[in-house]
Chains A and B, each alone.
Chain A
Amino acid sequence: MMKIEAIIQPSRFESVKDALLEIGIDGMTVTEVRGHGRQKGHTEVYRGREYTVDLLPKIKLELVLPDSLVNRAVETILKSAKTGKIGDGKIFLSRIEEAIRIRNEERGESAL
């Protein structure tokens, strides 16, 4: 099992979600986050006051998938989240030792 953490543009979230649904992935955790990588923030002035946007809004998706689905999911996210501009985000993969469904204590991939 692998965990996919994808930091994407908020504007791409609906497309990514729909694309994942199309390949049969409908379970995910979504978090509204802020951050920056190479895409630095900028400063807006409104009515004499400066608003510095140094941490840009992003969406973080977290999915834990069986190994067999991981590559497809990553490709799907890459395809649907990409605009080609700085700030499109990143994908992180990590191995997961165990998954347990709280309701019935099922373990392993069947708990996903």
Chain B
Amino acid sequence: MEEDQVTPLAELGPRVEAQRERIRKLFENGAGARETLRHLCELADNTIKKVFGELLRVRSAPAQGLSLLALGGYGREMLFPYSDLDLLFLFGSEKAEQEFRPLISEFSRTLWDLGFRVSSAGRTVDECKHIDDANAEFHLAMLDRRFLDGDLQLFERLDAKVLSGPEKQARPLLLSELQRLTRDRLNRYGNTIFHLEPNVKEAPGGLRDYHATLWMRQLAGDRRDPRISPLNEDELTRNAVEFLSGIRCFLHYANARNDNTLTYELQAEAAERSLGIDDNLRRNAAEWMRLYFRHARTLNRQMLRYMEQRTVTTLSLRQRLMNAMPGTKVETGDGKAYAVRDGLLGLTDERALADRQLIYGLLAESARLGVPLSREAERGIAYIMTHPEIPQKNTRITWPLLSNILSGDYPSLALRPMHRLGLLIDVLPEFRTIDSLVVRDFYHRYTVDEHSLRAIEHLQDLTGTSDPRGAHFAPLWRTVDRRDLLILSLLLHDVGKGMPVESHVAGSLQALETAADRLKLTSDEKNEIHFLIERHLDMSATVQRRDIFDPSTVSGFAAAVGTQERLQRLCLLTYADIHAVNPEALTPWKSEMLWQLFVATSNHFSRTVDRDRLHVSDEALLLEQVRQQSDHASKAELERFLEGFPRRYLAVHSPEEVALHFALYQKLGEQPVQTELKERKHAFELTLLSADRPALFASLSGALAAWGMNIVKADAFANSAGVVLDTFHFVDLHHTLELNPGERARFQQSIADVVNGSQPLEPLLRGRLAAATAKPPKVALRTSIQFDDDASDHSTLMEVMTQDRPGLLYEVGAALARHGCNIDVALIDTEGQKAIDVFYLTAQGMKLTPQKKELLREVLEGSLG
């Protein structure tokens, strides 16, 4: 690229253009990015020197007092075809600045005429001495300064004497400014590399991440820790920079301007040309983009690590003292220790990384506490994952372990690092099909895996959200049952997009089959996830294509969903799925529509539960399923048992559970009260069957309160023959049953005795309730009581909303019994400290009279407050 020593400016234009064209041809014929950037840089350097020299010669002026410096990308010799030429005119004094002004004007004009986009600044040496907030950005660009032409001594004075002290002193300022700029930039791009049409310069994972890393290293004095920077890291970085630089050159040439967006069309063209690849394998656009994301991930991860390590923070004395203390230990149930320090969670002993079960435990802890993993822990896991020669134990994940991770309040805090480290694909190989997968779509902004993880993040963000679009949904997230199933559904709902199937939903369901087999999900769990995946677009479609204010739309939708619990999961999934399409997809309008449909459907469930009764003549398939589970019991007896239960009973219980209840029912002849106790993940479940009797509900809830159990949810149903089936979910506040398994039989017997009437309840309750009511509530809530006579043909619906407290249900149940009310159906729920109880009541077989309703309101408002 050497130019002749003397070239008149008039002849320079065509020669520069010819050189540019030659560099372009070389690139198109396979020259690498590094070589292309070097050629472009040399062309710019030589042209600048020539123009500058020629102008000095014409004006017979020596260059003393003026230096020409290259800054920014040009300074680091990374000049892309249509990038700006960042130049600094450095003057020895203000006088020199005045003298050289006409020359600089002509110089800049000539370069523009030669096709260079000049972006220049002028400073005297004195002006460069002071580094502060106002000029920090300029001084960051100065970190890449390179002498081009002019007064060399002036440049050396600036470089070695004038700037060395201030730059050293201003390192914290520059670093914090760089971090601020970087954070703003990452936020602008949603903090993810996984854009469907990424900007290869500015987006996370783009070349700007690499530059930021270089600056951070430079500002930190580049004291490299060999553990932090493994030997192969520099090579990975070099390859990533070469790959992305090649793309940026390609984009500039294709767009004939400084446009760095890798559009769908240009992705296809780059894949067709195997841009940046030399393995001779043909790849389609989606496969080629996976390579892009792999390289982008390298640059982004490296930059984030430097961001974290080089963070300049002002710690208070308290924080410094706290940091000097040993880490706060978090003991897990099985005695393993993790530590939280500086707001990050790590293992206290890195040798524990050899046990995969401990790694999963660490991740579950992170999801539970909402504390991110420390970089050290992540690096440790990454090392283990990439060195299979290191012996590992317990490598196979079990569903309970995965479920623990997915059940936390902050599942994304575990899933994000799992995805980065390749652990997610290890645990859920079905997810591989959508790893960095670009699916062309007008609405989606992110790759399919990013969309799925982002959806989970949107749910997690509902905890303490200030976004009005999420306000309604936050309580649903807090109280949703089986959060693990919801999160697993979100992980799997779109994996079909990466499979060779006609409908992605069918593919995702296929993936569920293999995942469920491998993880050994129960059939109920699998069915629930199957429902959520299969119907994941239904709620959104109903909101947008049906009249949600039409009762028939609501009842049709409710029939398709089946239960309140499912509705809650489907609603959260829909909210998250729409939100994760792109930042604008969930408009306040859509969010409101979704909420309206949820409320209408939820109310439909509670208002129709009593009306919508089961008739066995319509349920041949179910009968057969239950009979198979019941050792082919008598059909007539089974029909007698099921006839007249609310449909909700079938919706919330599997055929296996119905068979179990039927077995209890068959034993009623031996013992008039049958109970079954099961330990669930976060609560116990007590099922009780008995012939209906006065105050049964009050006795049962009172007996549970007497044992110190906090009822969080309950259903009470009765069939046509007057057999009552109550299911109570309760938290064992004092760990009585957890710590003393032997007590479980005594507990069940005591419950049965109270319900039978063979053990009086009052003495049991007295001490317990006195102790419990001493605690004041955290949030005061006024009791509200609503009646509705239209919800059922034969009973009155009463909805009680009040402050939850031990023994509450007993109080309500006892008051109802005292006033001659029979509970046909009860649906009990809690939301934080709020109890929401729905009862379908009759008095002497009829709906409640207005007088009775008024009396109940008075009594309950008086006692509940």
Contact = CB atoms under 8 A, between A and B. Distances in A.
B600 A44 contact: yes
B786 A45 contact: yes
Given A10-B593, A11-B545, A44 B587 contact: no
Given A44-B603, A46-B603, A53-B596, A11 B834 contact: no
A59 B740 CA distance: 61
A46 B599 contact: yes
Contacts of A47: 475, 801, 831, 834, 836
A48 B549 contact: no
Contacts of A57: 589, 592-593
Contact of A32 (B549, B587, B831): B587
A32 B603 contact: no
A101 B203 CA distance: 32
A32 B469 CA distance: 15
B753 to A, nearest CB: 35
A73 B242 CA distance: 55
B599 A42 contact: no
Interface in B572-610: 587, 589-590, 592-593, 595-596, 599-600, 602-603
Contacts of B596: 44, 51, 53
Nearest to A48: B801
Nearest to A9: B547
Contacts of A32: 587, 589-590
A42 B587 contact: no
Interface size class of B (residues with CB under 8 A): 20 to 34
A11 B599 contact: no
Interface string A25-58: 0000000111000000010111110010100110
B368 to A, nearest CB: 27
B603 A45 contact: yes
A68 to B, nearest CB: 31
A67 interface: no
Interface in A1-37: 9-11, 13-14, 32-34
Nearest to A41: B549
B736 interface: no
A40 to B, nearest CB: 11
B520 interface: no
A25 B587 CA distance: 26
Of the listed residues A9, A42, A47, A57, the one surrounded by the most CB atoms of chain B closer than 10 A to its CB is A47
Contacts of B587: 32
A14 B592 CA distance: 20
Interface in B511-546: 543-546
A10 B544 contact: yes
A17 to B, nearest CB: 11
Of the listed residues A33, A48, A57, the one surrounded by the most CB atoms of chain B closer than 10 A to its CB is A48
Contact of B545 (A14, A53, A83, A87): A14
A103 B592 CA distance: 37
B784 interface: yes
Nearest to B599: A46
B602 A46 contact: yes
Of the listed residues A10, A42, A53, the one surrounded by the most CB atoms of chain B closer than 10 A to its CB is A10
A45 B801 CA distance: 12
A14 B542 CA distance: 12
Interface string A83-106: 100010000000000000000000
Given A11-B546, A46-B603, A51-B595, 12 more contacts: A10-B544, A10-B545, A10-B593, A11-B548, A32-B587, A34-B589, A42-B549, A44-B603, A47-B831, A48-B786, A48-B799, A53-B596
Interface of B: 475, 543-549, 587, 589-590, 592-593, 595-596, 599-600, 602-603, 784, 786, 799, 801, 831, 834, 836
12 contacts: A11-B545, A32-B590, A33-B589, A46-B603, A47-B475, A47-B801, A48-B784, A48-B786, A48-B834, A51-B599, A57-B592, A83-B547
9 closest A-B pairs by beta carbon, nearest first, are A48-B801, A32-B589, A46-B599, A11-B547, A48-B784, A44-B599, A11-B546, A47-B836, A57-B593
